[in-house]
A = this chain, B = another copy of it.
Amino acid sequence: MSSTYGRFFQVTSWGESHGKAVGVVVDGCPAGLPLTEADIQTLLDRRKPGQNKYTTARKEGDEVQILSGTFEGKTTGTPISMVVFNQDQRSRDYSAIMDVYRPGHADYTFDAKYGFRDYRGGGRSSGRETIARVAAGAIAEKILGELGVTVRAYASRIGGIDASDTEAVQAFLDQKIAEQDSVGGIVECRITGVPAGLGDPVFEKLDANLAKAIMSIGAVKGVEIGDGFAVAEACGSENNDAFRYDEEGKICKKTNHAGGILGGMSDGSEIILRAAFKPTPSIAQPQETVNRATGENVEIQIKGRHDPIVVNRAVVVVESMAAITIVDALFANMHSNMDGILRYYR
């Protein structure tokens, strides 16, 4: 029961890296949204591997098909089923890891939970699962586009380096590739145009749902909103954002330490969040681990094509999960006060 996200805009992900296909069902998408496969493909292409030397050299077609929920170029309000068939599987590359747990991967915990696993690769924990998230995110972004909301994510740190310093980043990555090692990084996401009042005051806080959405992406080990962990060292007099009337007589904030969310609800300013990604666990260096078949301590060297860094391909996944969460909050918000309900129905 791990595979549905969202209360109103519901995304059900399925599929394994070495199965026949991966896919997603989006239920709760409103009728009348213009939507074609090209809309989805554009976003999917942003997460494709093989785009530069720092992402894996595999060629994946990843051509999405919409199997239901649209008619004459528009959504019908019924579930939208999307599928991407797996093509480049080469399962022979993975046979060595059947009984040997890869450090930093979910192999061991899968066996602990389910008793056994599809040992041919990452399975359900593979990066290919994010195809489902991005396909659903593409729909969410289309809805947001109609409402004037934009979601934009980007790598902000690669290892300890500012991602905008591309020369330093390149040098660093080249060195790590030479060392058969991998590096982590930070993805930042900014959401503009969100009306004030989205989210809820207690458990369904907008930031709580964003935290879950982002932490549910493989390799994420930390999430922060606005000033994030830096608030732990700030004083109230610095951290509080003053309210002011702007020139148009609209209430705004002088600063945005809060990252656009106060008390779990959007305050109308830009929403800012960051996610910390761990280094790709698959590295070619020898690593210590166990063989569950022989019961022995062993060494493993992970072969095959692996990204030295996951951050670049993860950007669009962060964006997608944020977009889905905002759409869900927009829908939830529609029945929060009687005035709005009466306005809708009269």
Contact = CB atoms under 8 A, between A and B. Distances in A.
B184 A244 contact: no
Interface string A69-80: 101001111111
A241 interface: yes
Interface residues of A, number: 168
Interface string A327-342: 0001111111111111
Most chain B C-beta atoms within 10 Å of own C-beta, residue among A31, A125, A259, A268: A31
Contacts of A209: 212
A137 interface: no
A77 B113 contact: yes
B290 A244 contact: yes
Most chain B C-beta atoms within 10 Å of own C-beta, residue among A15, A244, A254, A278: A278
Contact of A221 (B66, B231, B280): B231
Nearest to A205: B216
Nearest to A283: B236
A290 B243 contact: yes
A223 B209 CA distance: 12
A304 interface: no
Most chain B C-beta atoms within 10 Å of own C-beta, residue among A2, A67, A184: A2
A10 interface: yes
Contact of A239 (B224, B243, B279, B334): B279
A264 B334 CA distance: 23
A315 interface: no
Contact of A228 (B13, B27, B179, B221): B221
B186 A232 contact: yes
A264 B30 contact: no
A312 interface: no
Nearest to A28: B1
A113 B336 contact: yes
A33 B338 contact: yes
Contacts of A236: 104, 181-183, 278-283, 285
A216 B215 CA distance: 14
A197 B66 CA distance: 26
Contacts of A104: 236, 239-241, 258, 262
A244 B295 CA distance: 10
Interface stretch (A42-50, A53-61, A116-124): A116-124
Contacts of A4: 4, 10, 12, 27, 203
B197 A112 contact: yes
Nearest to A11: B203
A5 B264 CA distance: 15
Given A181-B236, A201-B78, A258-B104, A263 B110 contact: yes
Nearest to A85: B67
Given A68-B22, A115-B337, A212 B222 contact: no
26 contacts: A3-B78, A4-B4, A12-B27, A13-B202, A30-B336, A31-B338, A32-B115, A32-B116, A71-B117, A76-B117, A101-B251, A104-B239, A113-B336, A114-B197, A129-B202, A146-B342, A184-B231, A184-B232, A211-B215, A215-B225, A221-B225, A221-B231, A221-B258, A236-B280, A244-B290, A340-B344
